[in-house]
Amino acid sequence: MKNPYLPMPVTIADVTVENDARDIKTFRLTFDREEDLATFDYLPGQFAELSLFGRGESPIGIASSPTEKGHLLFSVKRMGVMTSELHASPTGTKMGVRGPLGHPFPWERLEGKNILIVSGGFAFTTLRSAITYLLDPANRSRFGTITAVYGVREPGELLYKPALQQWEASKDIAFTTTIDRPKEGWNGRVGLVPVVVKEIGPDAENAIALVCGPPIMIKFTIPVLVELGFAKEDIVLSLENRMKCGIGKCGRCNVGSQYVCLHGPVFTWAQLEKLPAEY
C-alpha cells in the first residue's frame, strides 16, 4: 500500500521573485528520484502539499504544466510558518512534495471547446499551468479559441511577466492584462476584471470559462458570465480552504459534503451554487 503521507524528496532548483512586494516567489522543484518524476502524473488545476520538515506542509496549486518536463513550479505567497520558511530557503534546499492532489480542470469536457480564462491577483497560478498546457503545440489543436483576462491591482503584482508578454503577442490566445486603476507608466488596459470581461464580451457558444481569483472578483464575474450566456455548468472555479491531509480524511476543508482537497479544488458554479458558502 502506498503511503499517501510520505513526501517525495525534491530540490529547489530555482527561485524567482514574482512581485514588487517580494512576497510571492516561484519555486522550481526537481525530483531527487527518477521514479517520482515518472509517477507524478498531473494535469493543470491540481495541487500538491509542499513540505519542509520541522515547519509542516502547505497545499499549493501547481503552476507548471505537465508539458513542461522535468520539474514542477509552485508560486507561493509568504503567509504562515511554512511559507515564510520556504521564502527563506535558497536554491539547493532539499524539501518534499506530496501529490498530485485533487481534481484538475475538466480537461475531457474542455476538448473541442472555446475557452475563456478569467483570473485576478495571486490566484493566477494554476491558470498559468492551464494556459501553458493549452498552448503546447501538441495540445493547441484540441481546443477552440482561447481568450484570457488577467487582472491585478497594479502592475507590480503581475506574475510570470516574461510569459505574459509572449501570450499577449501570441496568435494562439487572446490575452488581456488589466490593472484596477490607471498608473503612470502603464500603457495597457485599465479596469476591474469583471468589467473588462464584459467589454471583451467573449461568445458563450460552445465555451467553458475557467475562473480563479479572490472572492470579490468571483462574486462580480459570475453574473457577467451568466449574462454573456455561460451555463452554470460551464463556469469552472477553483476553491481554497485550510487543508492538512489533502486526501479527504482530516475533515477541515469541506464545503458542505464536498472536500475541497478530494472532490475539488475545481468545482463548477452549478455545483457550488448548491453548496453552503463556507469558504
Partner 1 sequence: MVLEARSLAAFVESVAKAAKLFVPEADPAGGTIFAEATSATAIAPTVPNTRLSVKSVFFPQREVLLSYKESAIEAVPGVDGNLVVFGARPCDARAMTWMDEVFGGGGREDPYFVERRRAAVIVAMGCDEPCASCFCTSVGGSPYGTEGADVLASRMGAGAADLLLEPVTEKGASFLAKHAGQLKPAAADAPSARQAREKAAASRMKVLDFSGVKPKMDAGFESPAWDAITRSCLGCGACTYVCPTCHCFDITDESRGDRGVRVRTWDACQYSLFTLHASGHNPRSHKRARMRQRLMHKYSYAPETAKAVFCSGCGRCVRSCPVNLDIREMLAALEDLA
In contact, 70 and 14? CB cutoff 8 Å: no
Q: Tell me: does residue 254 bind partner 1 (CB under 8 A).
A: yes
Q: Does 262 bind partner 1 (CB under 8 A)?
A: yes
Q: Are 31 and 8 in contact (CB under 8 A)?
A: yes
Is 270 one of the binding residues for partner 1 (CB under 8 A)? no
Q: Does 33 bind partner 1 (CB under 8 A)?
A: no
| Closer residue to partner 1, CB minimum distance, 201 or 276 | 276
In this chain, which of 18, 57, 157, 234 binds partner 1, going by CB under 8 A?
A: 57
Nearer to partner 1, 95 or 222 (CB): 95
Q: Decide: 53 and 273 in contact? Cβ < 8 Å.
A: no
Strand partners for 208: 115
Indicate whether 42 belongs to the interface with partner 1 (CB under 8 A). no
Residue closer to partner 1 by CB (options 163, 247) is: 247
Contact between 279 and partner 1 (CB under 8 A)?
yes
Are the C-beta atoms of 116 and 279 separated by less than 8 Å?
Answer: no
Interacting residue with partner 1 among 54, 90, 182, 185 (CB under 8 A): 54
Stretch that binds partner 1, among 92-100, 136-144, 153-161, 175-183 (CB under 8 A): 92-100
Rounded to whole angstroms, the Cα distance separating 84 from 172 reads 37
83 binds partner 1 (CB under 8 A): yes
- Please give the order of strands across the beta sheet that includes 8-17: 56-61, 47-52, 94-101, 8-17, 24-31, 72-77
Q: Which is nearer to partner 1, 8 or 179 (CB)?
A: 8
187 forms part of the interface with partner 1 (CB under 8 A):
no
**The only residue of 24, 29, 50, 52 in contact with partner 1, by rule CB under 8 A:** 52
> Alpha-carbon distance 37 to 44, whole Å?
16
Positions touching partner 1 (CB under 8 A) are: 1-7, 9, 52-58, 79-80, 83, 93-96, 240-242, 244-245, 247-257, 262, 276, 278-279
